[in-house]
A and B are shown apart, each in its own frame.
Chain A
Amino acid sequence: DQQVKQNSPSLSVQEGRISILNCDYTNSMFDYFLWYKKYPAEGPTFLISISSIKDKNEDGRFTVFLNKSAKHLSLHIVPSQPGDSAVYFCAASSMGGKLIFGQGTELSVKP
């Protein structure tokens, strides 16, 4: 039972354009959501998070949107840069419990 799903294994965008990475979840008890970025042969790097009491959180070029009714969150990167090319994982937790990760989406930003 996959509680956190990233249905797009890969995404390719042009430099300077917007990248939108999507994530769906099934557990309505999740109350905290995070995005991590991962390069090959490195550990994941925390990017941005959002609590279920909010529907948007912004940090520089990164914005996370949460739609609780649809059980959907998305990460927007504007403008996209070649250095953003990596695998992005969304994760969710409930009441401070363990993080459940999605399968990841590989973003490729082309110059």
Chain B
Amino acid sequence: SAVISQKPSRDICQRGTSLTIQCQVDSQVTMMFWYRQQPGQSLTLIATANQGSEATYESGFVIDKFPISRPNLTFSTLTVSNMSPEDSSIYLCSVGQASSGNTIYFGEGSWLTVV
């Protein structure tokens, strides 16, 4: 499977600020996704990052709050805007390949704590 690197791995953020998380994959991948795991909760899909076009957001997530970029087949960013304590979560980049069928693989995650 592809090696997925996320930056930052952990950060403490001030309320009202924004933070951009980067996801770098060591090979070209068909699909890239961004998930969130709030404390004690399951994993929830935020959006599918589409290469060269706007991301596809899931219900409850909007572009103004979580702008996503995907300039090429190996890189994507997720910005968490105007953060509040409720945004304290692990944010996970994940990728899928046609050769892997429907299996997706995850990066190490980015732990954000908003104070």
A and B part of one assembly:
yes
Decide if B42 touches A43 in the complex (CB within 8 Å). Answer: no
In the complex formed, the residue of B with least CB distance to A32 is: B102
List CB contacts (< 8 Å) of A32-78 with chain B. 32, 34, 36, 41-46, 49
Q: Kindly list chain B residues whose C-beta atoms are within 8 Å of the C-beta of A42.
A: 108-109
Decide if B109 touches A101 in the complex (CB within 8 Å). Answer: no
Question: Number of A residues whose C-beta is below 8 Å from B?
Answer: 20
> Contacts A89-B42, A101-B43 given: A41-B101 contact, CB under 8 Å?
no
Q: How large is the interface on B (under 10, 10 to 19, 20 to 34, 35 or more residues)?
A: 20 to 34
Decide if B105 touches A46 in the complex (CB within 8 Å). Answer: yes
Flag whether B1 is at the interface (Cβ < 8 A).
yes
In the complex, what's the smallest C-beta–C-beta distance from B8 to chain A, in angstroms? 13
Q: Kindly list chain A residues whose C-beta atoms are within 8 Å of the C-beta of B103.
A: 34, 46, 49
Query: B40-51: contact bitstring with A at CB < 8 Å (1 yes, 0 no)?
Result: 011111001000
In the complex formed, the residue of B with least CB distance to A9 is: B40
Closest 7 CB pairs of A and B: A43-B106, A101-B43, A43-B109, A32-B102, A101-B42, A103-B42, A43-B108
Q: Can you offer 11 A-B residue contacts whose CB atoms are under 8 A? A: A32-B101, A32-B102, A34-B103, A43-B106, A43-B108, A46-B106, A49-B101, A49-B102, A89-B42, A93-B102, A102-B42
